[in-house]
Amino acid sequence: MRRLLVRWTLLLLAGLSLFSCDEQRKKAKIIPGDDTLTTGRIRISVDESFAPIIDEQIKVFMSQHPEANIIAEYKPEAECLKDMLSDSTRMVIVTRGLLPQEEEFYKDTLSFIPIWGRIATDAVTVVTHNKAKDSLFSKAEIRSMLNGTSGYSYQLVMDGLKATSTVRFLIDSVLRGQALSGNIVAATTSEGVIDYVSTHPNAIGFVGVSWIGNRQDSAQLTFQQKVRIAALQCANCEEEVYVRPYQANMALGRYPLNRGLYYILKENYPGLGKGFVNFLTHEKGQLIFRRGFLVPDRMSFQIRKANVSE
């Protein structure tokens, strides 16, 4: 009986040990740190296209919460998404959410699915040299320039030839999977795109509207003096009208190159990442997006008809 009791005891302990190991494997790999909703230090990766507006968001958030320190690294979108696998990166801000297969991957890897959501609407802005003869284009003309079948002799310039959100958007939404023309110049940043266009009369560039749409920003006002914002054929108009990426045109779907701005948060406790997401999705953060000439997606604004010269 004593031997039998010892044997059963050993089997029970072994079973408990296996159960404990299995439970450990199931536990989320991200565990609470020493940060809270309004205190601590985290790193986030942000699509370089949104550096001006996210810089402003972080500055205001940290001014309200002096014990919070959010360190943002600005890089191409694909690099931001790669950073999701890094333990040091808590959150990314990019132009898309997670795909179903990515959610499954993170569920297996982290034992939980990162939360994500859309926070604003951005637009890809087409910029030309100030002395360019053409500043009105249709989406079809933009497509033909991108795939190299256009009669235009413009030199196209982007913030890289791959891995950036602008390049991905143009391939997915304008070219619809067609290959880009080989006659495209790659600048390293959005500011580099603007500088290139300003010094090359035959160049056309593509940048996010937050880099050039804000007339109240002295740096962007300088950019607007260097280049001209082109108008594109309205995507939702009965008449042939050309519109620029103003907020009303973006909100009403009139501007044809709209895209979303999303956060993806890798945090399974109420930490500083969630505190910053709360800020971005509520009134103050949404008003900052509005002031930065993006369209807030978490707040309702009245749109009134007015006669505006475009």
Antiparallel, parallel or unpaired: β 295-296 and 258-265: unpaired
Q: Which helix (H) or strand (E) holds 283?
A: helix 283-291
* pLDDT at res. 240: 87
Report residue 163's pLDDT band, with 50, 70 and 90 as the boundaries.
confident
In 3-state terms, what secondary structure has residue 187?
coil
In 3-state terms, what secondary structure has residue 260?
strand
Q: What is the pTM for the complete model shown? A: 0.84
46 bridge partner residues: 74, 93
Q: What is the pLDDT of residues 33-52, one digit of tens each?
A: 689 999 999 999 999 999 99
The yes-or-no answer to whether 40-121+259-296 and 123-258 have a common fold is: yes
pLDDT at 206 over 90: yes
CATH number of 40-121+259-296: 3.40.190.10
Reduced 3-state DSSP string for 22-83: HHHHHCCCCCCCCCCCCCEEEEEEEEHHHHHHHHHHHHHHHHHCCCEEEEEEEECHHHHHHH
* pLDDT at res. 28: 52
* pLDDT at res. 143: 95
* pLDDT at res. 19: 43
Q: Which has more confidence, 54 or 31?
A: 54
Distance CA 273, CA 264 (A): 10
H helices of 68-213, in order, are 77-82, 100-110, 139-147, 165-169, 190-199
Q: What is the pLDDT of residues 84-104, one digit of tens each?
A: 999 899 999 999 999 999 999
Q: Which CATH number fits domain 123-258: 2.40.70.10, 3.40.50.1980, 1.10.3720.10, 3.40.190.10?
A: 3.40.190.10
Helix axes 283-291, 51-64, angle to 10 degrees: 140
pLDDT at 7 over 90: no
Distance CA 246, CA 136 (A): 15
* pLDDT at res. 153: 85
- The residue extents of the domains of the chain are 40-121+259-296, 123-258
What is the CA angle 130-136-141, rounded to 5? 120
